[in-house]
């Protein structure tokens, strides 16, 4: 069966510090991968998605970036965090069928102070 | 382009009462529709999905939803609410022509009163 991992689970970082969040998927190959953010009390905001290694599409301009160095690894990064980057970050994957059903990881709670 | 509207950001029901969470979608092509549940500080978990087979879809934890094309709706229901149903619920839509993106509604937080 497929599983998706995210780490760390929680993170507290000072403003201006760098960020690296990692997501890995097991049990499937060539998945579509996604990064979402949930600000407090708000819905899901799609940040990035990837249909293959090295292929990244950005949905919202910001100081975050994403990379996909391996088929089942997706990394969210920032060089300098802002207060507004605080939130709950979710990684998800979907298969190559037409339905695009997405499967979510457990999330990372990021607090920028 | 497709879109999703969830009516009511907060819904409160008594334990044992009917749960009804509303979702309307917009799509120019046949949609695939999903309901997800999110418990605090956790990821989203799929409750049920409509993929153009039966219009009445049964999911986990006693939830079901009915696809009504004429009303462009996909409301989520459960006959009797349980305290453990308190969570946030998201309706989502994707289409075969929509690429690899799924559009999520803003979410509805369900409160269950004892």
A64 burial class (0-12, 13-18, 19+ CB within 10 angstroms)? buried
- pLDDT per residue over A5-19, tens digit each? 999 999 999 999 999
- pLDDT band (50, 70, 90) for residue A80: very high
pLDDT of residue B95: 81
Nearest-by-CA chain B residue for A35: B101
For A95, nearest residue in chain B (alpha carbons): B100
Q: Are strands B31-38 and B87-95 parallel, antiparallel or unpaired?
A: antiparallel
Closest to B49 in 3D by CA, of B32, B26, B37, B62 = B32
Contact by Cβ (8 Å): B44, B36: yes
Q: Any CB–CB contact under 8 A between A46 and chain B?
A: yes
Q: Which residues pair with residue A26 across a beta bridge?
A: A3
Return the SS3 of A102.
strand
Mean pLDDT value across residues B16-42: 93
**Contact check, Cβ <8 Å, A100/B32:** yes
User: Are the Cβ atoms of A102 and B96 closer than 8 angstroms?
Assistant: no
In chain A, where does DSSP find H-type helix? Answer: none
Stretch B5-17: mean pLDDT:
96
For chain A, give the percent of residues with pLDDT over 70. Answer: 98
CA dihedral B38, A61, A99, B74 (to 10 degrees): 50
- pLDDT at res. B91: 96
Residues of chain A with C-beta less than 8 angstroms from the C-beta of B104: 43-44
> Does residue A35 have a pLDDT over 80?
yes
Are B32 and A90 in contact (CB < 8 Å)?
no
Q: If pLDDT is split at 50, 70 and 90, which confidence band does B49 have?
A: very high
Looking at CA atoms only, how far is residue B32 from chain A in angstroms? Answer: 6
pLDDT for residue A93 is more than 70: yes
A44 and B41 within 8 Å at the Cβ level: the answer is: no
pLDDT of residue B98: 59
The two tokens of residue B75 are: 């409301």
Q: What is the rounded CA–CA span in Å between residue B106 and residue A61?
A: 20
3-state secondary structure of A47: strand
Region of residue B99 (phi > 0: left; psi between -120 and 50: alpha; otherwise: beta)? left
């Amino acid at each position: 069966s497929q599983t998706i991992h995210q780490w760390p689970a929680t993170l507290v970082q000072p403003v201006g510090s760098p960020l690296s969040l990692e997501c890995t998927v097991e049990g499937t190959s060539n998945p579509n991968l996604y990064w979402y953010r949930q600000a407090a009390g708000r819905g899901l905001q799609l940040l990035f998605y990837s249909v293959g290694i090295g292929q990244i599409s950005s949905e919202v301009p910001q100081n975050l970036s994403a990379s996909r160095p391996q088929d089942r690894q997706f990394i969210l990064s920032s060089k300098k965090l802002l207060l507004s980057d605080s939130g709950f970050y979710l990684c998800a994957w979907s298969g190559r069928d037409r339905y695009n059903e997405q499967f979510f990881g457990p999330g990372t709670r990021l607090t920028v102070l | 382009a497709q879109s999703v509207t969830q009516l009511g950001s907060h819904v409160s029901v008594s334990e044992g009462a009917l749960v009804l969470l509303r979702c309307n979608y917009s799509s120019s092509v046949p949609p695939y529709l999903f309901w997800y549940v999110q418990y605090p500080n956790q990821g989203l978990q799929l409750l049920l999905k409509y993929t153009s087979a039966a219009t009445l879809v049964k999911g986990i934890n006693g939830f079901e939803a009915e696809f009504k094309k004429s009303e462009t709706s996909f409301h989520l229901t459960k006959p009797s609410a349980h305290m453990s149903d308190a969570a946030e619920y998201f309706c989502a839509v994707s289409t075969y022509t929509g690429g690899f993106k799924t559009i999520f509604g803003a979410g509805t937080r369900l409160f269950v009163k004892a």
